A and B are shown apart, each in its own frame.
Chain A
């Protein structure tokens, strides 16, 4: 139905997109038939390994571990990052400390640096993985929430003063709803970054999760498993963004766009 309403140029572009994917798959099949499977396994081999991943309880468990690492880190980093942004916003004397010192430092500190330090401090464990992901995500949360607070509609807040003098009621009924789109955008960005960081953190500093699986696969030259894990990540990151985050954000933007 939708495709019939597309203009011819758009239809051509879509067709070119499909041809591109088919060409990519054909090239992959051709190349994999020319080299050993430990260099480049064919799509069928990767697909069958992917099927096995979803039937093996142990491997499903690793996927859940990665998911748990990511959810915990997103929550922790959001709480810490937002608290720091609020501190800097409501208490002027801390603005330079938070946004002039802490944020640039955390922003330029490499994730792998945190991983190695966390291994020294906490050993190979889930704590290390969650700590690393959180440390990488905190500056994202700080910067995004700062933008949210700077963009608050002052007239709307002033109006709320004429209705109530209670700071908590103003915060709960006016400030917080105004922040929803930014809060959501922060969580969305954090979620996308967290997947990538989680793999590195789990690979070096974890004993569970997809990154740990990737490490085992790499050591065994199990390329079908390496590619299957990558496919899971790509599919997960893309589909959650496209079918969960984008619609929710569009909904929030419609209801809070004037903020």
Chain B
């Protein structure tokens, strides 16, 4: 088949194609579980636990009060980290907008520095500086997420309609009114996009941070399970994070994203 035909997508897929698509997609999941089960029959429990044992352990995560506490601890830290990083990143992005002399400081000094700073470096430094605590974990998450938010909000500031801002200035000179009534609503799609990225990265970072400096949270559970060779809990923790991440994205991030889409901001 020529490349041109293959690269051109049909406007509406035929029912047969749709069925085959679903078959291949769900088949992958079923196939992976079957393969996992067969592997677990051959290999020791410590290397590949049975899928049922992992599912059982996952259920414990969401039904046992003690485990729910760990899930809640990680979730609260991620939410706090994301919130502070979004506020800090937005302020840093807005600084050159208000004070052009700060442009090089923010975009050529702070941004590349924070962007290239390794996450594990922040984790080690924060534990040495502040000791293990909830605040330390939130600090680590915040430091890693801030550059993502800074980049996104800065892009938003470049893209927003500057004529609208000019017009707003002809109505009022009060910077607070301009910020809350015009600039921030125009920036909302970019802030939401920053939240989406920060939320995804935040979960991954929270685990690393909790491995070093915490006695609660899913990262702590992962560490504990690994040290006693409890493979089912290691697997269950990994899948629980995927599940929590997915639920959070579907019930919070996606609705927020729909509410503040670029089209709505422009309209």
Q: Among B17, B109, B237, which residue has its beta carbon within 8 angstroms of that of A113? A: B237
Q: A12-B101, A95-B21, A170-B2 are in contact. Are A112 and B222 (CB under 8 A)?
A: yes
- Residues in B with CB closer than 8 Å to A211 are 120
Pick out which of these stretches binds chain A: B135-143, B152-160, B177-185, B203-211: B203-211
How does the 8 Å CB contact mask read for B219-239 relative to A, with 1 for contact and 0 for none? 100100010000100110110
Contact between chains at A94 and B47 (CB < 8 Å): no
Q: Does A96 contact B (CB under 8 A)?
A: yes
Whether B234 pairs with A116 at a CB distance below 8 angstroms is yes
Known: A89-B7, A157-B7. A117 touches B235 (CB 8 A): yes
Flag whether A130 is at the interface (Cβ < 8 A). no
In the assembly, what is the distance between CA of A221 and CA of B116, in Å? 23
**Interface stretch of the complex, out of A47-55, A181-189, A233-241, A251-259:** A233-241
Inter-subunit contact B116/A13 (CB<8 Å): no
The interface residues of chain A lying within 8 Å CB-to-CB of B226 are: 116, 119-120
Say which size band chain B's interface belongs to: 35 or more
CB distance from A43 to the nearest CB of B (A): 15
A153 CB to nearest chain B CB (Å)? 10
A166 — nearest CB in chain B belongs to which residue?
Answer: B2
Measured in the bound complex, the distance between the Cα atoms of B82 and A174 in whole Å is 43
B174 is an interface residue with CB less than 8 A from chain A: no
| Secondary structure of the B contact surface, majority rule | helix
Whether A108 contacts B245 in the complex (CB less than 8 A), given A13-B104, A199-B121, comes out as yes
Nearest Cβ distance between residue A133 and chain B, in whole angstroms?
Answer: 13
A152-B7, A170-B2 known; A13 vs B124 contact (CB < 8 Å): no
9-residue interface stretch from B22-30, B61-69, B161-169? B22-30
Residues 191 to 231 of chain A near chain B (Cβ within 8 Å): 192, 195-196, 199-200, 203-204, 211, 214, 218, 221, 223, 226, 229-230
Given contacts A39-B129, A152-B7, A165-B2, contact A93 B24 (CB under 8 A): yes
Contact of A108 among B6, B47, B242 (CB under 8 A): B242
User: How many angstroms from the CA of A230 to the CA of B123 in the assembled complex?
Assistant: 12
Shortest beta-carbon distance, A116 to chain B, in Å?
A: 5
Which residues of B are at the interface with A, using a C-beta cutoff of 8 A?
Answer: 1-4, 6-10, 13, 17, 20-25, 27-29, 46-47, 100-105, 108-109, 112-113, 115-121, 124-125, 128-129, 200, 203-204, 207-208, 211, 219, 222, 226, 231, 234-235, 237-238, 241-242, 245-246
The 9 closest A-B pairs by CB, nearest first: A17-B104, A113-B238, A237-B116, A96-B25, A93-B20, A230-B121, A13-B104, A97-B25, A170-B3
Footprint of B on A, CB under 8 Å?
A: 9, 12-14, 16-17, 20-21, 38-40, 89-90, 92-97, 100-102, 104-105, 107-114, 116-117, 119-121, 149, 152, 154, 157-158, 160-161, 165, 167, 170-171, 174-175, 192, 195-196, 199-200, 203-204, 211, 214, 218, 221, 223, 226, 229-230, 233-234, 237-238, 241
